[in-house]
């Protein structure tokens, strides 16, 4: 069975068709649940990026001139095809990422389709402006596509991160060259074929699997690419800015990491409900989530009751298992290397004096997969590395506070500023705290950061200009042009 999968070869997707890499290079995508190869994939290089830029530039001439209502039709069809291929795409997503198939089926793939449709439907509802000039002039402010958009995305939500970028970029008339994370190219390669089937012109959506250091760097430095949209680590975000600075000053959109606090205040309501949501916010997608609620700031009065409940959930509902089983909520981590990184943070936490309540170990080792038991650390202080650094795994750091002021100060004492969650029944403290937090999204009594109607982006080291989702995403992928006419 494994041999059959591994014999499947997936090319890059350039100019509307699958292609081997110019240099003939390839690599194997591995299933993190058993360490076995899933498919062989073209490993692109600089020449492939150059070819994709030529194709995307030609396609931009065509796609930007397609009337918005027609662009809408093509992209709505694209979203429908994704929905029609739900089972196949969900399976590809789970085989490459190890995420639970139930999440891939009910969230990753349907939400990718919904995202593309949301932006598609906006395509013919974006107006320009007429400036309030005197009678002798006409000042028009028009939006134009930026041109060729480069996108570099991570492995944690491969289809969804792609949809967040290609949705608004294509809807506003740009063409796209996207590099999936090298470990997770499969769902996106299939989606690109569906895009062509929906009527995207050849070259409008190109997918180039390969190494970040090579393909990512080539995208960031290419003079023919006008913008790079990135989701991933702060370290890579910094290098992309440097590449843009040294080359054509392309616009750089950065959606980076986080160390998001979940703040449980003095009047949190039903603690069982709060515990279930707190656990979901850190353990969903194995904690491999930029907005994971990895710090639990809890009022001293509720700490032991809440920690006990969350730990119990970690050991039951969130126990690791085969991601292809429908009831599994925790699959393997993405790779053996990442598992070691997460386990190393567990060692660091213990050395720093945090108390390990549950988890912190490698489990299900006989599967050959990279499983780590959902982990809770109590008696953490906010200066510890496990409270400051993004672990990107199922590790919760619990920190107690005595009053609201202390909670806000702990929450903001982080290099990151992506998201925060508040649990309270006190409306007045909600507004006070929401305004005081230096983060891009504040969620109240829910771990959800919202749907496509609201932007998602960070403050501080969580990046900027990475406002994927909502109509604000369209601003990111368009230029504003002024046309000033003398009519006096």
Annotated catalytic sites, by residue? 255, 290
Task: Using CB under 6 A, pick the residue from 15, 255, 322, 404 that binds ligand NAP.
Answer: 255
Q: Binding-site residue total for ligand NAP (CB under 6 A)?
A: 25
Task: Using CB under 6 A, pick the residue from 19, 77, 165, 179 that binds ligand NAP.
Answer: 179
Dihedral (CA of 151, 164, 87, 155) sign: positive
Please count the CA atoms within 13 angstroms of the CA of 110 that sit on its side-chain side.
8
Q: How far is the CB of 240 from ligand NAP (least distance, A)?
A: 6
Binding positions for ligand NAP, 258-297, rule CB under 6 A: 290
Binding positions for ligand NAP, 58-117, rule CB under 6 A: none
Q: Beta strand pairing status for 205-207 and 175-179?
A: parallel
DSSP states of 122-188 as a string?
HGGG---EE----TTEEEEEEEEE-SEEEEE--SSSHHHHHHHHHHHHHHTT-EEEEE--TT--HHH
Under rule CB under 6 A, residue 377 binds ligand NAP: no
Under rule CB under 6 A, residue 231 binds ligand NAP: yes
Binding positions for ligand NAP, 153-172, rule CB under 6 A: 153-156
Q: How far apart are CA 439 and CA 445, in angstroms?
A: 16
Q: Which is closer to ligand NAP, CB of 154 or CB of 203?
A: 154
Under rule CB under 6 A, residue 257 binds ligand NAP: yes
Choose the stretch contacting ligand NAP; rule: CB under 6 A; options: 40-48, 123-131, 228-236, 324-332.
228-236
132: buried, middle or exposed (CB in 10 Å: 19+, 13-18, 0-12)?
Answer: exposed
Q: How far is the CB of 236 from ligand NAP (least distance, A)?
A: 4
Q: How far is the CB of 268 from ligand NAP (least distance, A)?
A: 28
Q: How far apart are CA 109 and CA 104, in angstroms?
A: 6
For the chain, report the end-to-end CA distance as a whole number of angstroms. Answer: 76
Choose the stretch contacting ligand NAP; rule: CB under 6 A; options: 38-46, 103-111, 128-136, 251-259.
251-259
For residues 120 to 159, the per-residue mask of contacts with ligand NAP, x marking binding by CB under 6 A and - elsewhere, is: --------------------------------xxxxx---
Task: Using CB under 6 A, pick the residue from 34, 79, 160, 217 that binds ligand NAP.
Answer: 217
For residues 390 to 409, the per-residue mask of contacts with ligand NAP, x marking binding by CB under 6 A and - elsewhere, is: x-x-----------------
Q: Are 93 and 109 in contact (CB under 8 A)?
A: yes
**DSSP at 465:** B
Place of tokens 């649940």: 33
Task: Using CB under 6 A, pick the residue from 110, 224, 232, 440 that binds ligand NAP.
Answer: 232
Place of tokens 């108390």: 355
Q: Which is closer to ligand NAP, CB of 98 or CB of 216?
A: 216
H-type alpha helices, 353-398: 385-388
Cα-Cα-Cα-Cα torsion 161, 164, 170, 172, nearest 10 degrees, comes to -150
Helix axes 427-436, 404-412, angle to 10 degrees: 30
Q: How far is the CB of 334 from ligand NAP (least distance, A)?
A: 8
Where on the chain is the footprint of ligand NAP (CB under 6 A)? 152-156, 179, 181-182, 211-213, 216-217, 220, 231-233, 236, 239, 255-257, 290, 390, 392
């Amino acid at each position: 069975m494994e041999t059959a999968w591994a014999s499947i070869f997936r090319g890059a997707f350039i100019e509307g068709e699958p292609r081997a890499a110019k240099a003939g290079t390839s690599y194997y995508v591995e299933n993190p649940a058993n360490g076995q190869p899933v498919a062989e994939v073209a490993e692109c290089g600089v020449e492939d990026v150059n070819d994709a830029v030529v194709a995307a530039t030609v396609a931009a001439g065509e796609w930007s001139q397609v009337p918005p209502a027609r662009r809408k039709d093509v992209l709505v069809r694209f979203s429908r095809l994704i929905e029609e291929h739900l089972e196949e795409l969900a399976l590809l997503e789970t085989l490459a990422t190890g995420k639970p198939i139930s999440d891939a089926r009910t969230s990753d793939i349907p939400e990718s389709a919904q995202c593309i449709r949301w932006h598609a439907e906006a395509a013919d509802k974006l107006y320009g402006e007429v400036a309030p000039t005197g009678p002798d002039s006409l000042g028009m402010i028009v939006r134009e596509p930026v041109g060729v958009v480069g996108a570099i995305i991570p492995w944690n939500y491969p289809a969804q991160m792609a949809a967040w970028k290609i949705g608004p970029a294509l809807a506003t008339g740009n063409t796209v060259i996207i590099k999936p994370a090298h470990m997770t190219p499969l769902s996106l390669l299939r989606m690109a074929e569906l895009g062509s089937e929906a009527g995207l012109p050849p070259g409008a959506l190109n997918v180039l699997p390969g190494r970040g250091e090579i393909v990512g760097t080539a995208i960031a430095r290419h003079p023919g690419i006008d913008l790079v949209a990135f989701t991933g680590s702060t370290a890579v975000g910094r290098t992309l800015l440097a590449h843009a600075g040294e080359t054509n000053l392309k616009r750089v959109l950065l959606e980076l990491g986080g160390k998001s606090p979940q703040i449980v205040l003095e009047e949190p309501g039903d603690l069982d409900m709060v515990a279930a949501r707190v656990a979901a916010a850190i353990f969903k997608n194995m904690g491999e989530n930029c907005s994971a609620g990895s710090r639990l700031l809890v009022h001293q009065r509720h700490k032991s009751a809440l920690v006990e409940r969350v730990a119990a959930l970690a050991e039951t509902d969130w126990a690791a298992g085969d991601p292809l089983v429908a009831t599994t909520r925790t699959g393997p981590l993405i790779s053996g290397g990442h598992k070691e990184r997460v386990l190393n943070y567990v060692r660091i936490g213990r050395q720093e004096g945090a108390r390990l309540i549950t988890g912190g170990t490698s489990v299900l080792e006989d599967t050959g997969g990279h499983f780590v038991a959902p982990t809770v650390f109590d008696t953490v202080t906010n200066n510890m590395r496990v409270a400051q650094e993004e672990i990107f795994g199922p590790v919760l750091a619990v920190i107690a506070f005595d009053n609201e002021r202390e909670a806000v100060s702990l929450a903001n004492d982080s290099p990151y500023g992506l998201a925060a969650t508040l649990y309270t029944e006190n409306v007045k403290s909600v507004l006070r705290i929401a305004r005081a937090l230096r983060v891009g999204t504040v969620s109240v009594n829910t771990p959800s950061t919202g749907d496509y109607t609201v932007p998602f982006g960070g403050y501080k080291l969580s990046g900027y200009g990475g406002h994927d989702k909502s109509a604000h995403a369209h601003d990111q992928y368009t230029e504003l042009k002024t046309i000033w006419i003398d009519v006096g």
